[in-house]
Amino acid sequence: MVGVVAASLFVSWAHADRAAKETLLAGLALDALSGVRLTRWEDSDLLLGADWNKEILARLADCDYGLLLVSPRFLASGYIRDTELPRLLGPGRGKAMPVMLKEVPLDGSFDLRGLAARQIFTGAGGRAFTQTAGPNRERFVVDLAGQIRRRVLADAA
C-alpha cells in the first residue's frame, strides 16, 4: 500500500479578489484527492490580535507550496511582491503553484514578478478562473486539483 503524502499550501492572493478567491477555493475539493493530504492557510485565517506579519512570515517559511492566485491586483500588491514572492520564488525555491485567477495578459505588458518562467495554470483555451462559468468552471477546479495532486506526488517521488 502506498502512503499518503502530506503537504501544506500557503494561499497568496490580493484582497481585492476576495470574491473570486472564495469561489475558487470553495470548489477546490482538496480533501477528496487520493494519495495526498493537503492543508491550506491564508491570511484570512489569522486570529484576532495576532501579529499578522510575523504569522505570515512563519507560514511562508513552513509551507510546502504557495498557491498563487494571479490577477492584476495580485501583481500590483507591494506586500506580495516584496514579502511573499521572494520566499516562494527565490533562489532554490520550487514552492510556487501559480493559478490564473483573473485575466493577466502574458504578452509582456504586465510585470509578472518572476512568474514568467513558471507554468501558470489556466483553464481550457488559456482562460482565467473568472473567465469560466458552468461546466467550464467546474472543469477548471477539477483540473486544478488534479494538477496540485500531480505536483505534490511528483515532488515526493
Q: Which tens digit of pLDDT belongs to each residue from 104-151?
A: 999 999 999 999 989 999 998 899 999 999 999 999 999 999 999 999
> What grid cell was written down for 143?
483540473
The answer on pLDDT for 57 being more than 60 is yes
**Predicted pLDDT at 61:** 92
In degrees, rounded to 5, the angle at the alpha carbon of residue 93 between the alpha carbons of residues 40 and 125 is 70
Say yes or no to pLDDT of 157 above 80.
yes
pLDDT value for 91:
72
Mean pLDDT value across residues 43-49: 83
CA separation for the pair 121, 28 (Å, rounded):
14
Q: What is the β-pairing status of strands 65-70 and 36-41?
A: unpaired
- pLDDT tens across 68-109, in order? 999 999 999 999 999 999 999 977 677 899 999 999 999 999
Judged by DSSP in three states, 20 sits in: helix
**pTM higher than the cut 0.85:** yes
Say whether pLDDT at 47 is over 80.
no
- Written as one string, the DSSP assignment of 61-95 is HH-SEEEEEE-HHHHH-HHIIIIIHHHHHSTT---
CA distances in angstroms from 68 to 2, 3, 98, 134, listed in the order given: 29, 27, 4, 23
